[in-house]
Structures are given as C-alpha cells and as structure tokens.
Amino acid sequence: MTQQIRQLPLGGVLDDAIALTKGHFGSLFQIVAVTVLPTLLITSFYQFAVMPPLTFPFEPEQFQAWMEAQQKHGNVINLLTIISGVASIIANAAIVHGVSSAYLGQPVTTKAALSHALQDFLPLIGTSILGGIMIFGGMLLCFVPGIIFALWFCFSTPIVVIERITGPEALKRSKALMKGNVGSMFVFGLVVGVIQVGVAVAPHIVPQPHAAIVLSAMVQCALSIFGTAAIVVFYFSARCQHEQFDLQLLVEQVEAQIVLKAADEDEQAIG
C-alpha cells in the first residue's frame, strides 16, 4: 500500500513509519544485512570472547580484570567500533533513500540504495561532523542548547540524501523545516526511544549468550530501519507544512497523467 504524503500529526507519522517498515522490510533489511549486521556481530562476538563480564554492582577484582582486558584489546575494539560507525552511516543513508523511494511510490532496490549512499558518504561525514561540533558546543554551554541544536539538525541526513544539499546549508535547511516542530520532534523522539528500548530489551531474556548476541544485532538493525523511516516521514510532513510539498507532488502526478494520456491518444491516432 502507498501512503499519501501530507502534513501529519505525531500518530500519523508513526503509523506511516510502521506501514513503510512492514511493507518494505525485506528490501530494507537487505541493506542492513550487508552493512551494519556483519560489523555488529563481529564486534559483539569479539567483545564477548575477550572481555570479562562486568555486572553491577561489581567487585574491585572484577573491575580490575575488565580494565586490563580493555587495555589489552582496546585498540581492536576501537577499530571495530569505527568500522561499525562507518557502516551505520552508509546503512542510514541507504535506508533514507529506500524509504523515501517507497514513500514516493518508486521501487526500492538494495543495489540502488547502497550506490546512492556511497555517493553521499563524504558529504554526510562532513555535514555530520559540522552538526556534531555545534551540538557538542551547545552541550558545553548549558546542555539545553545542545538538545535544541540536535533537534534543529535532525533532518540533515534526509536533506543530504534526498535533496543533495550539504554542509552548513543542510543544517540551515533542517533548522528551517523544524520551525514550529521542535516540541513535536522532542515528544516524537521520546516516543520512538521508548519503543526502541522496549523492543531492544527482548533479546536479553534469551539464556544462550551467542543466540542473544545474534538476536540483539538483528533487533538493532530492525529498530534502525523503523527509526530512520520515522524521521523520513516526519521530514516529508515538515516539507508539506512549510512548502506545500504534497501539492507539488499532486501537480506533477496530474501533469504526468496528462502526458501519458496524450501519448496514448497519439498512438491510437497513428494506429
């Protein structure tokens, strides 16, 4: 089923995000299966193999053993973490492309989404670093400005991927689209966060540790798909609010139908 792009309340954003995730889960999960999932599994299994368990409240001897293991294997863990971060950026961009394609009624393919994401990798890195510096600076000032900056810039990835706007211009555009939506985005983030935390707890009840690691990684991938889909839907809703994007789409669809009808009539006349 194709969702109608329009300005939505929070409940509508969640409904469309759930529908997009369910309707295209296979194609979207293929994206994370070749990017994030392998790095998550490798990192998790490596840490499980080399790091002693650290349970709270921990004994001094237990903490000492954990610190020694961290010192011994920290470089490898840090490298794996960096690789996972790179994979997450690529996967997130690819999911944005896939979800936006599905939302606009276009086909979703893993190859096209990943190809698009790789082209946007460096612009995304630059934009993310710039936004991260501003958010970190806001946190140092009084914490609250950092939260506001994070809310302002939450559309930066969709803007880079969908509109191909990068750097300071992407952050400025994200802030413009967030006008009147900061409070809603804050509540929206809390709701999505509660959903993600609730679902993420499930794998930890699995008694077999290796199975729990695999299940946890798969759940994280599924949650990343849903979270990204929700941001994309919210982004299009904000564009409808500020730019009447839904009316632009309607005009384009009507124009396309007129062109197709004229082509059919010409073909019939020739025949």
Alpha-carbon torsion angle 190, 196, 197, 200, nearest 10: -170
Rounded average pLDDT over 205-209: 81
Three state DSSP letters for 182-231: HHHHHHHHHHHHHHHHHHHCHHHHCCCHHHHHHHHHHHHHHHHHHHHHHH
> What pLDDT does 249 receive?
63
> What pLDDT does 262 receive?
43
> What pLDDT does 33 receive?
93
Q: Which residue has the tokens 């309607």?
A: 250
- Percentage of the chain with pLDDT > 90? 42
Q: Which of 79, 10, 16, 14 is nearest to 46 (CA)?
A: 79
Rounded average pLDDT over 152-178: 93
Average pLDDT taken over every residue of the chain: 84
> What pLDDT does 253 receive?
44
Rounded average pLDDT over 202-220: 82
Q: How much is the pTM?
A: 0.83
How many other β-carbons are positioned within 10 Å of the β-carbon of residue 134? 18
List the domain boundaries for the chain.
10-270
> What pLDDT does 246 receive?
63
